[in-house]
């Protein structure tokens, strides 16, 4: 203010707690209660039951925080629960049986201000809506029985809306809606297990088994776009009637701001977006907001194991531990039958170039076909197939010794062990990315206004629902796409395992002083990795050599061939490449986009430019076709921008030396000194140095200490 007059915002809607996307905030609202029940059936049997239930709720940016005082808040609701039952039976003094049952459910539901209160457990869109959500919906335009979500338009001419990098470019939102809100996840886990312990002479033997059933049910309302129509305000096909001629004294920057402001005040529509989707592998048409608005996906993965171990006290100073464990890990699948993989499995990832790794980095490779979707697993057209094979070979032995050396006056104990453990835990977020979003299951559409259109007239304009353009579900991604991402699994994907080694010597120096020296080692093998198959080729096709010639100021014949007759927009007087008056190398040096790549030595970026750009032809990748070159001249599968194969190429090692000195003082006081020297090496999960030699990615891992 100016000392006399002041101004401020008064937030009219309450913020009901603060939460994060994963519930990690200490400021969320939380109710928790636990029940424990113990019952001694008789002197040999007892039962134990534990139940824990919790309700957390709060507000997170993902579900909508308003930019204006009169705006509305969304919220996050989480209801985790845990149940366990144990029955212990002492059959006889040397025989004990324990049965265990556990059930855990994690839930997460995020709703925007427009959906607050709705859709719990996948209920319909209008069920249970809070009064604030009803009021927020009523404030938006209505089309075909649904509210028309409206994004704020640009204000200062520095970009388009919505802007993630600079939100100040846009008008604020009083009731925001994330593209995937509402979003619901329910992840139940069931576990059954039994163990039998038997003491027989010098042996303490234990047998057991465990069965795990894991699933994750999810529902959301969109991916890159929302399933409900979304309007982006701004300058459409007809610019507002503000020009430098009609608005004296206005400059170019302020002119754009003034036009944007007038467009927003008029409710001018720049475009309308809508996402279509399917919830069945046999769908012949798209789902739309007219009949539903939620994706439904339920992922499953099952596992079971059995084990036997023996603690054998061979003598008074030597004990031998032997064990053997077997694990089965089933391939994940989806209840809806929409677990997708390339047709043919791993071989389908290589697209038009071939069927295996011989097609990699081969600009003349042939023998393949367009990558298409194949749905596998229960409830799919290919119920006998899986996204990869079940794993039946997880056999893990273990051995350990404890030996008290008899030749010393004071206790000296040697301990050593070796074992193999398999890592079969399922990450359903990664699984859903790999098999649940296969191209062809969704369609993003956009209508760009060709004449003046505003919010008042959009209902009668017939542009909502947005036209699909005749596109059908599950059609192959065209060779002119070149931006989509696809994931696939190696056919014989294996379960990662860890070999553990340990060796220690413990020596009692005095009755109150003990020292320990330990070696601990872990070797993790066959870890999951995402291998990028669409690595740009710059060697076999000659692009690197042509790049170096161009960078040195020369003229590369290859670039003449690739750009002959093409006009790159480097100036107002740009002319086509003819190989003499203007060479391909000269055109690349003149064009600002490619000149930066050449100056920075970014040969891979230039190769990707040739593979994906629509510059000069109007078609993605059109430069290759124009030059008469193979579509796979630069990448193995030019249908897509990225092609990831999930395989077992990762390895890591951990080696550590540990020393402990323990001193027991009087009156129960103990002092300890510990020292650890360790190194953790492995293949980086985030950065691959060379796709042709994955071993070059081995380095210190971020967890090294």
The answer to whether 334 and 300 have CB atoms below 8 angstroms apart is yes
Residue 559, CA distances (Å) to 24, 298, 585, 588, 617 in order = 54, 50, 6, 9, 16
Task: State residue 434 phi and psi, 5-degree precision.
Answer: -75, -40
User: Are 324 and 421 contacting, i.e. CB atoms less than 8 angstroms apart?
Assistant: no
Q: Chain centroid to CA 301: how far?
A: 18
Other C-beta atoms closer than 10 Å to the C-beta of 214 total 20
Residue-range domain boundaries for the chain: 29-298+441-460, 316-435+484-534+644-669+677-700, 543-634
DSSP label of 219: E
Return d(Cα 502, Cα 418) in angstroms, integer. 7
Please list the alpha-helical segments (H only) found in 193-308.
Answer: 252-265
Per-residue pLDDT tens for 494-510? 999 999 999 999 999 98
Give pLDDT, residue 152.
64
Radius of gyration of the chain (CA): 32
**On the CB side of 643, how many CA atoms lie within 13 Å of its CA?**
24
Q: What is the pLDDT of residues 319-336, one digit of tens each?
A: 999 999 999 999 999 999
Residue 547: alpha-carbon gap to chain centroid: 35
> Which segments in the chain show pLDDT lower than 70?
1-12, 21-24, 120-126, 152-172, 179-180, 571-573, 685-687
The confidence score (pLDDT) of residue 685 equals 65
Distance in angstroms (rounded) separating the CA atoms of residues 193 and 403: 33
Give the pairing type, strands 269-277 and 442-448.
antiparallel
Contacts of 356 (CB under 8 A, 6+ apart): 347, 350
**Position of tokens 């005095």?**
510
State the pTM of this model. Answer: 0.86
**What pLDDT was estimated at residue 426?**
85
């Amino acid at each position: 203010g100016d000392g006399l007059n002041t101004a401020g915002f008064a937030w009219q809607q309450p913020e009901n707690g603060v939460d994060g996307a994963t519930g990690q905030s200490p400021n969320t609202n939380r109710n928790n209660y636990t029940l424990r029940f113990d019952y001694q059936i008789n002197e040999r049997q007892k039962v134990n039951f534990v139940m824990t239930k919790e309700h957390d709720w709060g507000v997170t940016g993902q579900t909508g925080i308003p930019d204006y005082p009169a705006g509305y808040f969304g919220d996050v609701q989480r209801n985790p629960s845990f149940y366990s039952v144990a029955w212990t039976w002492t059959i006889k003094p040397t025989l004990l049986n324990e049965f265990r049952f556990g059930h855990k459910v994690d839930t997460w539901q995020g709703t925007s201000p427009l959906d607050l209160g709705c859709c719990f457990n996948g209920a319909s869109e209008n069920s249970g809506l809070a009064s604030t959500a009803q009021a927020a919906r009523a404030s938006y335009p209505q089309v075909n029985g649904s509210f028309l979500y409206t994004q704020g338009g640009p204000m200062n001419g520095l970009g388009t809306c919505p802007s993630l990098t600079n939100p100040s470019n846009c008008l604020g939102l009083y009731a925001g809606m994330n593209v995937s809100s509402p979003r619901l996840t329910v992840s139940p886990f069931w576990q059954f297990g039994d163990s039998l312990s038997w003491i027989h002479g010098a042996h303490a033997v234990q047998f057991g088994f465990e069965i795990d059933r894991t699933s994750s049910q999810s529902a959301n309302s969109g991916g890159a776009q929302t399933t409900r129509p979304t309007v982006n305000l701004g300058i459409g096909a007809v610019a507002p009637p503000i020009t430098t001629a009609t608005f004296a004294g206005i400059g170019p920057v302020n002119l754009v701001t003034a036009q944007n402001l007038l467009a927003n005040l008029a409710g001018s529509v720049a475009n309308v977006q809508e996402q279509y989707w399917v919830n069945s592998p046999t769908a012949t048409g798209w789902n739309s907001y007219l009949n539903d608005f939620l994706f439904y996906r339920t992922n499953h993965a099952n596992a079971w194991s059995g084990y036997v171990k023996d603690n054998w006290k061979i003598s008074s100073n030597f004990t031998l531990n032997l064990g053997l464990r077997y694990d089965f890990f089933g391939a994940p699948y989806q209840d809806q039958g929409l677990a997708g993989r390339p047709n043919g499995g791993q071989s389908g990832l290589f697209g038009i170039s071939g069927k295996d790794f011989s097609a990699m980095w081969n600009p003349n490779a042939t023998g393949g076909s367009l990558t298409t979707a194949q749905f596998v697993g229960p409830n799919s057209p290919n119920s006998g197939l899986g996204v990869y094979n079940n794993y039946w070979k997880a056999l893990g032995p273990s051995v350990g010794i404890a030996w008290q050396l008899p030749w010393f006056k004071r206790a000296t104990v040697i301990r050593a062990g070796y074992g193999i453990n398999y890592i079969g835990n399922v990450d359903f977020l990664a699984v859903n990315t790999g098999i649940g979003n296969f191209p062809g299951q969704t369609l993003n559409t956009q209508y760009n206004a060709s004449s003046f259109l505003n919010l008042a007239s959009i209902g009668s304009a017939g542009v909502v629902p947005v036209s699909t353009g005749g596109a059908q579900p599950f059609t192959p991604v065209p060779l002119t796409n070149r931006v989509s991402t696809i994931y696939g699994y190696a056919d014989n994907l294996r379960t990662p395992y860890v070999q553990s080694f340990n060796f220690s010597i413990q020596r009692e120096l005095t009755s109150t002083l003990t020292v320990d020296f330990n070696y601990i080692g872990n070797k993790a093998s066959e870890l999951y990795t995402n291998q990028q198959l669409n690595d740009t080729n710059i060697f076999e096709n000659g692009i690197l050599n042509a790049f170096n010639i161009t960078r040195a100021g020369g003229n590369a014949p290859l670039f003449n061939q690739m750009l002959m007759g093409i006009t790159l927009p480097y100036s107002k007087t740009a002319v086509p490449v003819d190989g003499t008056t203007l060479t391909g190398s000269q055109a690349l040096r003149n064009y600002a986009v490619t000149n930066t790549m050449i100056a920075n030595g970014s040969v891979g970026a230039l190769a990707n430019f040739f593979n994906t750009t629509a510059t000069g032809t109007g078609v993605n990748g059109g430069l290759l076709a124009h030059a008469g070159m193979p579509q796979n001249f630069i990448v193995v599968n030019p249908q897509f921008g990225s092609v990831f194969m999930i395989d077992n190429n990762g390895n890591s090692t951990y080696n550590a030396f540990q020393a402990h000195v323990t001193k027991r003082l009087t009156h129960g006081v103990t002092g300890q000194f510990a020292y650890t020297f360790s190194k953790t090496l492995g293949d980086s999960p985030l950065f691959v140095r060379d796709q042709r030699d994955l071993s070059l990615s081995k380095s210190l891992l971020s967890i090294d200490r």
